[in-house]
């Protein structure tokens, strides 16, 4: 039994089944990320002098490079779909392969960023001073920190240099933590938003790998059906890119 409207459009909607389904799914995704962006806004509005909203703690050059990678993957995704529509299967394989490679690159860079945050610490002293840097030694009486040297361009080139290690008595410390959700609400919403987005990137990459490898066999029997499937995957991929285009300036620049 053949499933209707997998290639031809439905007369009532003008769309084929999978395209209707992906648009409904993306509508729910907009509500999901919209709620999280709203949470970010309220957390930032709620920041006060006692718990200020941090700035310059994310690596803007790396975030910028990742943005270029993801936007490039959107372009290659379109080219992969266009190649199928023009019945150029070899070109499709190349463009889809590049799209998958871009996704892997994005996730690897994001993993590097996460690892850096796990090893970067902030120490809040009782006198109100905050010292950030890498933890060198932790004893029952004190912490030894390799502090960051902050300079005029710190927001765009953060934590690129370090000063001499300093020892801080724990009796002078109000609290200390690495750059995780425990550190501040900023990192709580940062890891929530970027982590959820990263899961979407991984899911989209897995779907594209399927259409690149075993799923591409459909081209032999029904190339238009494969083109429709890739178009649906592409719509999801463009949504993932669009979310990051909002995430990057909100988290890294503002």
pLDDT (tens digit per residue) in 5-15? 667 777 777 77
Tell me the whole-structure pTM to 2 decimals: 0.87
Residue 11 lies in a domain: no
Indicate if 103 and 37 belong to the same structural domain.
yes
C-alpha 176/C-alpha 166 separation (Å) is: 15
Q: Where are the alpha helices (DSSP H) in the chain?
A: 17-46, 60-85, 89-118, 185-212, 218-221, 223-248
From residue 170, give the alpha-carbon distance in Å to each of 13, 143, 165, 179: 67, 7, 16, 19
Contact call for residues 172 and 126 (beta carbons, < 8 A)? yes
Indicate if 36 and 111 belong to the same structural domain.
yes
Indicate if 189 and 249 belong to the same structural domain.
yes
Residue 49 lies in a domain: no
pLDDT of residue 152: 32
Domain extent at residue 241 = 32-41+55-116+183-253
Indicate if 130 and 221 belong to the same structural domain.
no
Indicate if 198 and 102 belong to the same structural domain.
yes
pLDDT of residue 150: 57
Output the domain CATH number for residue 165.
2.30.30.100
Indicate if 105 and 127 belong to the same structural domain.
no
Output the domain CATH number for residue 62.
1.20.120.80
Looking at the 3D structure of the chain, how many domains does it have? 2
pLDDT of residue 156: 36
Indicate if 106 and 141 belong to the same structural domain.
no
Indicate if 215 and 165 belong to the same structural domain.
no
pLDDT of residue 5: 66
Q: Which of 149, 178, 207 is the last residue of a domain?
A: 178
Residue 161 lies in a domain: yes
Q: Which pLDDT tens digit goes with each residue over 124-168?
A: 888 888 888 888 888 888 888 888 765 333 433 344 455 678 888
Give the pLDDT mean for 231-248: 96
């Amino acid at each position: 039994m053949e499933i209707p409207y997998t290639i031809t459009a439905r007369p009532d909607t003008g769309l084929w089944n999978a395209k209707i389904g992906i648009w409904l799914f993306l509508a729910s995704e907009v509500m999901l990320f919209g709620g999280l962006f709203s949470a970010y806004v309220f957390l930032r509005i709620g920041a006060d002098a006692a718990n200020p909203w941090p700035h310059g703690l994310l690596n803007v050059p790396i975030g910028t490079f990742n943005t270029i990678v993801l936007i490039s993957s959107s372009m290659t995704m379109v080219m992969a779909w266009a190649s199928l529509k023009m019945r150029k299967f070899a070109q499709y394989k190349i463009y889809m392969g590049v799209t998958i490679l871009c996704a892997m690159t994005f996730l690897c860079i994001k993993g590097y960023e996460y690892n850096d945050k796990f090893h970067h610490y902030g120490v809040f002293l009782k006198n109100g001073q905050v010292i950030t840097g890498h933890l060198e030694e932790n004893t029952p009486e004190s912490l030894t920190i390799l502090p960051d040297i902050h300079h005029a361009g710190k927001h765009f080139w953060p934590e690129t240099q370090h000063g001499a290690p300093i020892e801080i008595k724990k009796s002078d410390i109000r609290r200390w933590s690495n750059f995780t959700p425990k550190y501040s609400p900023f990192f709580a919403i940062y890891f929530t938003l970027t982590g959820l987005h990263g899961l979407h990137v991984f899911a989209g990459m897995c779907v594209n790998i399927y259409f690149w490898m075993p799923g591409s066999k459909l081209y032999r029997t029904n190339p238009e059906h494969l083109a429709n499937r890739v178009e649906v995957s592409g719509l999801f991929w463009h949504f993932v890119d669009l979310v990051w285009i909002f995430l990057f300036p909100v988290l890294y620049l503002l």
